[in-house]
Structure 1
Amino acid sequence: MSANCAIMGGFGGGNLGDELIGLAESGFLEANGMEPLLYTFSPTVSQAIQSQVRWLDYRNLPDYFQRLRNTVRRHARNTGQPLPDRVIIGAGGLLYDTPLTHLIGWHSRTLYLRQKRIPYALFANSLRRPRSAPGRYLLHEILRHASSVSLRDRLSLDIAGELCPRDDYRLTRDPVLALGKILRPDVAMPVQKNLVAIAPRPWNPSGKKEGFSFWVGLIKGLVEQGLDPVLVAFDPRMDIEFCERLRSSLALREVRTWDSAQGLAGAGAVFDGCEMVFGMRFHALILALLLEKPMLAFSYDEKVTGLMADLGLSPLCYELNGNVPAALDFVIQGRRYLADRKPEVLSGMRDYVAESQSLTTKDFARIIETL
């Protein structure tokens, strides 16, 4: 068995969730006796976050998407970067067709791997039902040619079965759940009553305004209910500016961000002192699970919905539609639900995390064997 296996994901953009996936999956490679070998969109950023990883630059991968963008030479031998023998796409929620160019890029990479006879597998992905016929075709082809596929929620399994029937799809969990206590801050602040962390993202409910007015209205309503919101920005490419605008508009206390210079250990400090997490970002919910924080989910797509359904917490998941009064009512009802069932909910969260740590480790090793 060759030891040259690379991971492709969304690494290098500084998104806390993506970088945590990279930390988990580099550890999985090491646990299987392999060199941590991951592709990145920004070697400088990735090297600063994880210096022990050998980072390969996507821009030096001469797939057809890169050729169209005219950013690299045509042949791999001219890049100075060797191709791996096998690839695992541990891309979280990247296989989406909004925008379509996103999915075109992933299909192009897998097509290039196939033409070079490099097998690839999908590990711990979430799927969204493609919004377009080209998107359905591209995702079907990615699924069809994968040597194996594991998905991180049952809803994604259903979507995969609709798009490309196979009898070997497997259910796994998000790899970040295998990191366990490494994400907890060394010294945690005491929980402050009514301090709630909100992890939003720019969101476009109607094709117009990125959801800014929705979050302004919702947060005003939360303050009127006596809650003390603190904003948490997960993705520096889009969340920080969005959260700063919200903070300025609403005169909130702060915007918390993850400092990449401090590394990934203790990243859960972004929720320090908060008694509850309101998560639109998927990995805000994953961190809440690891930190055993009660949470309410605001779902803009299937990956958040699928996670909450698998947790048995669908009553705590709100499907975003831009309706502020309905969202406020959801918060009121959700807090009542948690008040009545908090020990039961937290116990279920702990069980889910404990099962995930074993499941993801074993599933990764199984995928290695299929390549």
Structure 2
Amino acid sequence: MRALLSGYYGKGNGGDEALLATLLQMLPSHVTPVVLSGNPEETSDRYGVESHNRMDFLPVLQALRSCDAFIWGGGSLIQDVTSTISPFYYGGLMGLAQKMGLKTVAWAQGIGPLVRPQTRYLARQNFSGCTKVSVRDRVSAALLSDWQIPYILAPDPVWALQAKPFPGLADLPTPRIAVTLRNHPQLTAPRLANLTQALVNLQEATQAFILLIPFQKSEDLAIAEAIQPQLKDVSQILCIEEPQILKGVFRSVEMAIGMRLHSLIMAASEGCRCFALSYDPKINRLMEDLSIPGWDLANITDDANVITQTWLEYYTSSKPLSSEQIKFLVDGAFIHQKLLTEALSVTK
């Protein structure tokens, strides 16, 4: 069986690459993956798979014709807040696959926000036509329940991604604090300046070595480069391309401060304490589910000393998730694998 995998792949986003790596890890052995990517050569080299340009219509159509199944491969693909085009792109591919008679799977989806009636209608049609659907949060599950569409709810698959050690991490000073910020309208210049000053204060108070980790170079690297000179000799920017190693870097980190959803998931799954800076409802859902402390960026205090004190109290007095909690979430994430096995069974 051949399955066409569609997601925000090959765009340099560590979270989406982690979803792809986990999906490939979970695919049944009789399934040959074909991946649509923004950088098909890189995707083929990294994962050893057949890959095609996600925006080149003719190869995409030919790939669909050559496959038996089509999979939305995780993440917030179906939402119309950060992109009005995204739900139509992914929805159009799903609709085409369904018309062509392929088995179709919506895998590990975080649905919404959907604020436009037309995208909401398209999403409902897409999900209702799927062979199997799994979602990663309660809000997505509630939406499907309202639509009377069967689904499975399980933790984000990246909880179950097999991590690899980061080479050279042992050579960096300890203790360590990881920071993952991204470009976003809510991260204004004054807010970034306050966060940077708070981070400088936190480093002085803890004597921790700061790891600045861009999850997507195009969105995150410039911010890391703006912060790093303020932490000269006590910080390092780590640009890590392989998702398993990106997850593994959090294994020896005391605390993670993150805007990126999957930076928080990776950190928590590796036993690291987390503090969230939310710009999106999906971050708030994770904060609620795991009782992760944090702030909405839109409402964050403009007093750097208050930020520092909050971080310092959390650094000195909090505990990471217990090994039992982590095991529960990892085991739960494998429910997404069970769904793939059922949906992609050889019998039709």
TM over 0.5: yes
1:112, distance to aligned residue in structure 2 (A): 1.9
Which residue does the alignment assign to 2:44? 47
8 Å Cα contact 1:157/1:171 also seen in 2: yes
Partner amino acid, structure 2, of 1:203: H
Partner amino acid, structure 2, of 1:245: A
- With normalisation by structure 2, the TM-score equals 0.84
Q: Which runs of 5+ in 1 are unaligned?
A: 63-71
Q: Deviation digits for residues 116-161 of structure 1, max 9, x if unmatched?
A: 2323121111122223333323322322222221101223212333
1:108, distance to aligned residue in structure 2 (A): 1.6
8 Å Cα contact 2:18/2:244 also seen in 1: no
Q: Which runs of 5+ in 2 are unaligned?
A: none
1:273, distance to aligned residue in structure 2 (A): 5.0
Pick one of 65, 69, 76 that aligns with 1:93. 76
Pick one of 194, 198, 202 that aligns with 2:183. 202
For residues 46-65 of structure 1, the aligned pairs below 5 Å read: 46-50=43-47, 52-62=48-58
Which residue does the alignment assign to 2:195? 218
1:276, distance to aligned residue in structure 2 (A): 0.5
Pick one of 239, 247, 268 that aligns with 1:257. 239
State how far apart, in whole Å, the 1-side matches of 2:270 and 2:125 are: 38
State how far apart, in whole Å, the 1-side matches of 2:145 and 2:198 are: 41
For residues 345-364 of structure 1, the aligned pairs below 5 Å read: 345-347=321-323, 349-364=325-340
1:26, distance to aligned residue in structure 2 (A): 1.5
Q: Does 1:284 align with 2:268?
A: no
For residues 156-171 of structure 1, the aligned pairs below 5 Å read: 156-162=140-146, 164-166=147-149, 168-171=150-153
State how far apart, in whole Å, the 1-side matches of 2:333 and 2:67 are: 27
Partner amino acid, structure 2, of 1:86: A
Q: Does 1:136 align with 2:120?
A: yes
1:277, distance to aligned residue in structure 2 (A): 0.4
Q: Which stretch has the larger CA shift, 330-339 or 171-180? A: 330-339
For residues 211-250 of structure 1, the aligned pairs below 5 Å read: 211-225=188-202, 226=205, 228=208, 229-248=210-229
Which residue does the alignment assign to 1:68? none
Which residue does the alignment assign to 1:66? none
For residues 150-189 of structure 1, the aligned pairs below 5 Å read: 150-162=134-146, 164-166=147-149, 168-180=150-162, 182-185=163-166, 188-189=169-170
Which residue does the alignment assign to 2:98? 114
Partner amino acid, structure 2, of 1:53: V
State how far apart, in whole Å, the 2-side matches of 1:100 and 1:80 are: 25
Structure-2 change in CA distance of 1:159 and 1:305 (3 Å): farther
8 Å Cα contact 1:178/1:357 also seen in 2: yes
Q: Deviation digits for residues 305-356 of structure 1, max 9, x if unmatched?
A: 2223232x15x1422215334897577446545755516x334542334423
8 Å Cα contact 2:258/2:264 also seen in 1: yes
1:83, distance to aligned residue in structure 2 (A): 3.4
1:256, distance to aligned residue in structure 2 (A): 1.7
**Matched position secondary structure for 1:234:** coil
RMSD over aligned CA atoms reads: 3.1
State how far apart, in whole Å, the 1-side matches of 2:311 and 2:118 are: 38
Structure-2 change in CA distance of 1:332 and 1:362 (3 Å): farther
Q: Which stretch has the larger CA shift, 14-23 or 185-194? A: 185-194
1:286, distance to aligned residue in structure 2 (A): 1.9
1:43, distance to aligned residue in structure 2 (A): 0.8
Q: Deviation digits for residues 215-244 of structure 1, max 9, x if unmatched?
A: 221221232242554321011222112322
- With normalisation by structure 1, the TM-score equals 0.79
Which residue does the alignment assign to 2:283? 304
Structure-2 change in CA distance of 1:92 and 1:118 (3 Å): same
State how far apart, in whole Å, the 2-side matches of 1:196 and 1:25 are: 29
State how far apart, in whole Å, the 2-side matches of 1:320 and 1:176 are: 24
State how far apart, in whole Å, the 2-side matches of 1:358 and 1:269 are: 19
1:194, distance to aligned residue in structure 2 (A): 5.9
Which residue does the alignment assign to 2:273? 294
Partner amino acid, structure 1, of 2:213: V
Structure-2 change in CA distance of 1:246 and 1:135 (3 Å): farther
8 Å Cα contact 2:71/2:106 also seen in 1: yes
Partner amino acid, structure 1, of 2:40: P
Q: What percent of counterpart residues are identical?
A: 21
State how far apart, in whole Å, the 1-side matches of 2:332 and 2:311 are: 25
Structure-2 change in CA distance of 1:328 and 1:21 (3 Å): farther
State how far apart, in whole Å, the 2-side matches of 1:363 and 1:111 are: 20
Partner amino acid, structure 2, of 1:362: K
Q: Which stretch has the larger CA shift, 249-258 or 288-297? A: 249-258
State how far apart, in whole Å, the 1-side matches of 2:87 and 2:76 are: 11
Partner amino acid, structure 1, of 2:281: E
State how far apart, in whole Å, the 1-side matches of 2:180 and 2:228 are: 12
